[in-house]
Structures are given as C-alpha cells and as structure tokens.
Chains A and B, each alone.
Chain A
C-alpha cells in the first residue's frame, strides 16, 4: 500500500517568516495530493490540493509543489501568522477513494 512520510514533525517559525513542510510517497500511481490543516479539537480542513498533471499551485500565502519523478511534494506558507498555528497533514491518493495521510507537522508561529 501507499506509504507517506512527512517532515518535520514539529516546526517553529517567527511570525512573518516562511514555513515549508515536505512529504514523500511510494506509490507512483498516486495522482491527487491534498494538504489538510487541523486545529485543536477540530476535524481536518483542506487548505490546498494539487493533481499530478500540475507541478505547482498557489493560493494567496499558500503554495504546493509536486515532483512526480522524485515522488515528493511540499507545502509552502509565506508571511506566517499566529492563526497558521495548527497540525498540517499531507495526503495522497490514486484512482480510488482511499486517501493516505502523512504523519503530520505541528506548526507553531511565534508572535
């Protein structure tokens, strides 16, 4: 089955700095790569996703890059704000409904 590794497990940045979270996956058939943000006591919420026919996608302060050859994808958050503090999960999926999550990154933005 799919194996998704996510790094780092924790990340502290100063407000206004950038944060980068990286994931690698094993199944070359995976073609959908979402990123979820989970705040304490809440369910995960999609913040951005990318499909395998695209190398990069940006939405305001958030961007995702995908390298299918190397089987890795990354989340970039620029100009971080305290409300960005949360746990972030990468995930990937092939042509089915099953989504495999990474192990999560706890991001702390220090005011």
Chain B
C-alpha cells in the first residue's frame, strides 16, 4: 500500500564517497521533491522536478544532484558527502500545477563516517 518509497531507510557512507538515495512512487504524480531534514529542524527543500523540468533551490550546494529518469523514480546523488550532510532525506510527490498536498516517503537517514 506504500505510495512513496525510499530506499534504503538507513545509509552509512564514508566521508567523500559518492552516495545515491532513491525514491519511487506509485501515485503517478508529476512533481517530485527532495528535502533535507536535520535533527529537530524543518524540512528544507533542495530541489524539485515538475515533470521533467528540474528546479534547483538557490542555496542548494553543488554537491547535491538529482536525476529523474521517468515519472516513477527520482534519485538524489551526493557527490562528496561531508559530515554536515548527515541528515534525514525526504522524498515527496504532488500532483498538478499549483500548490497542493505533498505525499512524503519514510525518509532515508544518512550517516557520514
């Protein structure tokens, strides 16, 4: 019954070693988002796809990249993780043109060692 699925739930990576987090959805939503959430903080939008159009937030570091090969899948690539990138990464989807409900996955907790 899961609608937005993130894999893995927990990821440990080495400092500087590239890592990829994945997100899939069964909702057929046209918008997909990636958020970074650090402990006791609000989710912070990194970027989103509106269909195939990529929209990067101005303050998202270049270290973070994303790919959306098709409607169902979206990936977050961290090219050279630093200790400050340890966080929960949340994928979300929504449907339509205007602002509307976002459906979140369970998140991937990234640890950098």
Residues of A within 8 A of B (CB): 31-32, 34, 36, 41-46, 49, 89, 93-104
Q: A42-B107, A45-B104 are in contact. Are A93 and B41 (CB under 8 A)?
A: no
- Asked whether, in the complex, the Cβ of B48 is within 8 Å of the Cβ of A103, the reply is no
- Asked whether, in the complex, the Cβ of A43 is within 8 Å of the Cβ of B107, the reply is yes
Chain A residue with Cβ nearest B105: A43
Q: A43-B90, A43-B105 are in contact. Are A103 and B42 (CB under 8 A)?
A: yes
Chain A residue contacts of B31, Cβ below 8 A? 97
Chain B residue with Cβ nearest A87: B40
Which interface residue of A46, A99, A103 has the most chain B CB atoms within 10 A? A99
- Asked whether, in the complex, the Cβ of B50 is within 8 Å of the Cβ of A34, the reply is no
Q: A43-B104, A43-B107, A44-B104 are in contact. Are A94 and B99 (CB under 8 A)?
A: yes
Q: List 10 A-B contacts (CB under 8 A).
A: A32-B99, A34-B102, A43-B4, A49-B101, A96-B99, A97-B48, A97-B99, A98-B48, A103-B41, A103-B42
Q: How far is the CA of A96 from the CA of B98 in the complex (A)?
A: 6
* Nearest CB on A from B47, distance (A): 10
Chain A residue contacts of B70, Cβ below 8 A? none
In this complex, the interface size class of chain B, counting residues with CB under 8 Å from chain A, is: 20 to 34
Chain A residue with Cβ nearest B57: A98
- Asked whether, in the complex, the Cβ of A46 is within 8 Å of the Cβ of B101, the reply is yes
B19 on the A face (CB < 8 A)? no
B92 on the A face (CB < 8 A)? yes
1/0 contact trace for B88-110 toward A, CB 8 Å? 00101010001111111111000
- Asked whether, in the complex, the Cβ of B90 is within 8 Å of the Cβ of A97, the reply is no
* Nearest CB on A from B54, distance (A): 12
Chain B residue with Cβ nearest A51: B99
Chain A residue with Cβ nearest B4: A43
Q: A44-B43, A89-B43, A104-B41 are in contact. Are A99 and B99 (CB under 8 A)?
A: yes
* Nearest CB on B from A83, distance (A): 18
